[in-house]
Structures are given as C-alpha cells and as structure tokens.
Amino acid sequence: MTTPIDISEESGVRYLHFGSEWVQGAMRIRKPDALELDYTREMMAGLLLRDAPWPRRVLLIGLGAGSLTKFVHRHLPDAHTTVVEIAPEVHAVAHQFFKLPDEDERLEIVIGDGAEFIANDTARWDLIAVDGFDRNARAGALASQVFYEACRARLSEQGLLVANLFGQLRGYKTQLQRLGKAFDGRVLALAPVASGNVVAFAAAGEPVESSLIELRQQAAALKAATGLDLAPTLKRLEKAGLAPAGNIRF
C-alpha cells in the first residue's frame, strides 16, 4: 500500500505528513541538518549517556524526513548507520524535499519492514532508534513485545534502545510496560514534550550511570560541537524527578 504523503511549509520550516495532520518530520530550510522537532533532539540524548566514540553502529527504524539520519551522518563521523524504511516513497521524498544524503560507506538505506528486519538480523548495534508510525500515528508491530525483545537481543554491551512513543494515544502505557518487561525495568522515559511525544531509553548491558553535573558538562560540549542543545531536556528530566539525588541510573 502506498503511503499518502503531504508536504507543508510555515515560517521557514518544511513539514512531512502521511495524509493526516500528524507531523511525521520537519526541517528548517536554512538548517537542513539540525534537529527541528523537540522529540528528535531528545532521541539523541544517548550521546550524553555513553562516552565517545559511541555509537559506532547505529540502526534507525523509520526514516521520516531523515532528521536523525542527517544528524548522525554529519556529526558522528565514526558511526556507520543503517536505516530501515518500509515505504520507498518516503525514501524518495526525503531525498527530494528534505536533503537526505546519498548512501555511502557510512550510510545504508534498506527498504523493508523494521520489525522483520530486527527479527532476522544478526548484527550488534550500539544504538537502535525506533521512530516509525503510520498515518494515524500508530506504531503497529514496532510497539510489540516481540519487537522490543528482539531489539534487546541485538544490542551491544554498551547498546541503547531509544523509542519515540506517542503519549496522547490510547495504549501508550501498555507500550511502555512492554518496553519495561523486555528490558527488566531498565528504562528511562522522559516527560512528554509539547507535541505529546515521549522519548524512552532502554539498556540491557552496561549500566547507565551519571550525575546531573556530568550530564550538564557533556551537554555543553555537545552543543559546542554540533549545535544540539540538550540543556532543556536535562532541566525537564530534573523537574520530573527522574534524577533522584542528582543522579540517573538504569
């Protein structure tokens, strides 16, 4: 089935829609490699949780407007990225309208079903980022227990799964419960951003341990190097009580 695609522009930002009002991706035209949407910025917060040169192997499930793909390709030169996108027309639109780079030795695009890909995969990934929705903002198999358990099995010792969840949808809490079950409760779910998106991180190998002081220092260095500002994320994390005694651990 062909995915219905609409493109809109407002105030210098180009938006991707799948035949509905839901925004599936965005790009500031003057800054095509920047992460325009709040939740996409928070999906890169794993860069504060592991030490460089992490991640070296990145799997992105769901291409959308290519925001995460472009950011990783530009700012993480040591990373090899594989993107799995189910709809070839989305890939074509990302190229034509959202400045998705061509494939090269560091970037591979696979047209296929993300759940099937991870079920049949044998590689180990440092970062698996899941951001796949249909026109009704439903994640389908990408929100299943089987899928989350398959993702866990494919993570490296320092591997992290990050998933974009939609907190306004019925079933969101069930989705988060499945994620917690697959990762034995080792999940950090950030507070919803204004759009209702909830970014959740999960770890299976080496524990994630850091103080807010360390995270702020890393965030400042990351902003200087890439322009990505995660200071607001850390403020929201602290305000939501997700860093008891000034520390996070999962």
Residue 143: which residues within 8 A CB-CB, separation 6 or more? 165, 171, 175, 178
What is the chain's mean pLDDT, rounded? 93
Confidence (pLDDT) at 66: 97
**For residue 128, what is the domain's CATH number?**
3.40.50.150
pTM greater than 0.85: yes
Into how many domains does the chain fold? 1
Could you tell me if residue 24 is inside a domain?
no
Could you tell me if residue 213 is inside a domain?
yes
Could you tell me if residue 143 is inside a domain?
yes
Confidence of residue 19 (pLDDT cuts 50, 70, 90): confident
Could you tell me if residue 173 is inside a domain?
yes
Scan for tokens 């994640």, then name that residue: 139
Domain that holds residue 48: 38-237
Confidence (pLDDT) at 132: 82
Could you tell me if residue 127 is inside a domain?
yes
Active site residue 102: no
**Which member of 33, 113, 126, 131 is catalytic?**
131
Could you tell me if residue 2 is inside a domain?
no
**Contact (CB, 8 A) for 194 and 38:** yes
98-156, pLDDT tens digit by residue?
Answer: 999 999 999 999 999 999 999 999 999 999 999 986 655 566 889 999 999 999 999 99
Count CB atoms within 10 A of the CB of residue 47.
Answer: 23
Could you tell me if residue 176 is inside a domain?
yes
Could you tell me if residue 189 is inside a domain?
yes
